[in-house]
Amino acid sequence: MTLTKSKYYFEALDNYPYSLPDCLEALNYALSYDPEDADSLCLMGRIYSEMLDDYEKAKLYFEEAMQCDVTNLNTPKYYIKCLLDNEDLQEAEKLINYSLKIKGIDRSTLWFYRALLSEMRGSLPNALKFLTEAEKFCFMPQSLDFMKSRKKFIKSKMPKKSKKKKETK
């Protein structure tokens, strides 16, 4: 990253999501200095995904960011969230499986998204299994508490096992 591009990228990041006009202005400057900067492209994808709910346009930015830097640690987690929000479940699963191989990535978040994917597909037992895996990679009490509360929530959605009463005559 050049110093000027970094300045504009960090200015955009600082303004996101509170001042989108300032964020977009700085982001456009950053992309004009380097149109292949994965972090800037990822942030643009986030704007389209998280603020404008334009998932198709967001996917284009995320795809471009992935092509520019396949080892970027930020892009996969936001791209996966976009895919899940847009219900592109097969694509999300592929990206999760690929991202788990990236050295240094937040595996807890990826396993959480894998659990969310299973939950969206209606496989609650698998979602619990993946949340248990996510707990192994939690290194902060807050994230561990979140995973535990999510497991409790999923368990509450599961059908209760009914106890069959013996019929007596």
Q: What is the pLDDT of residues 62-116, one digit of tens each?
A: 999 999 999 999 999 999 999 999 999 999 999 999 999 999 999 999 999 999 9
Q: Which contacts (CB < 8 Å, 24+ apart) does range 131-134 have? A: 134/107, 134/108, 134/109
pLDDT tens digits along 12-34: 999 999 999 999 999 999 999 99
Cβ 58 vs Cβ 46: under 8 Å:
yes
Rounded distance between C-alpha atoms, residue 39 and residue 68, angstroms: 10
Percent of residues, the chain, with pLDDT higher than 70: 94
Provide the greatest CA pair distance for the chain.
86
Residue 145 has pLDDT above 90, yes or no: yes
pLDDT at res. 119: 96
Q: Taking residues 152-160, what's their average pLDDT?
A: 91
Higher-pLDDT residue of 87 and 167 is 87
| Average pLDDT value for the chain | 93
**pLDDT of res. 160:** 81
Whether 35 has a pLDDT exceeding 70, the answer reads yes
Q: What is the mean pLDDT of residues 132-157?
A: 95
What contacts 69, CB < 8 A, 6 or more positions away?
A: 38, 75
Helices (H), strands (E): how many in the chain? 9, 0
Residue 127 has pLDDT above 60, yes or no: yes
Query: What pLDDT is stored for residue 4 in this prediction?
Result: 75
Q: Give the residue with greater pLDDT, 1 vs 81.
A: 81
Q: Does the structure show a pLDDT above 70 at 164?
A: no
